[in-house]
Amino acid sequence: MNPQIEISVKPQYIESQSDPLQSKFVFSYTITIANHSKGPAQLIGRHWIITDDKNQIQEVKGVGVVGQQPRLESGSSFTYTSSAMLATENGIMSGSYQMRLDDNTEFEVPIPTFALVHPKNLH
């Protein structure tokens, strides 16, 4: 079984929380998880790999997202916003969500790799 879960991401640089002189670059990302399958699925965990321009890697694993383990009914979606801090102006994030069906079958949903880019580097 391959449940149809769609992930979309909108990253944004947060200038007010960043301090370039201290090599602190903060980005928010808003994620929408849409369940296009025939039955419900619950998000139970996350795994992120955050890589900056110097190839410094942060790996984050945890239960749920933003303190929740949302249950997505068929045809529904869940949106949340979180943040990441880099030591460089740019980086990338990728990862996966761990999901569970009502029959306790667990599966992994890849999160598409997305760029964290300081606005001055956008063309």
Spans of all domains in the chain: 5-116
Query: pLDDT tens, 2-57?
Result: 569 999 999 999 999 999 999 999 999 999 999 999 999 999 999 999 999 999 99
What residues are paired with 63 via a beta bridge?
45
Two tokens, residue 88: 């460089």
Please choose, from the candidates 114, 103, 111, the residue with its C-alpha nearest in 3D space to the C-alpha of residue 38.
103
The domain defined by 5-116 folds into Immunoglobulin-like (2.60.40)
Integer Cα distance of 35 and 112 in angstroms: 16
Indicate the pTM of the whole model. 0.91
Query: pLDDT tens, 42-51?
Result: 999 999 999 9
Please choose, from the candidates 17, 31, 7, the residue with its C-alpha nearest in 3D space to the C-alpha of residue 85.
17
Query: pLDDT tens, 54-111?
Result: 999 999 999 999 999 999 999 999 999 999 999 999 999 999 999 999 999 999 999 9
Q: Is the dihedral of CA 35, 100, 108, 44 positive or negative?
A: positive
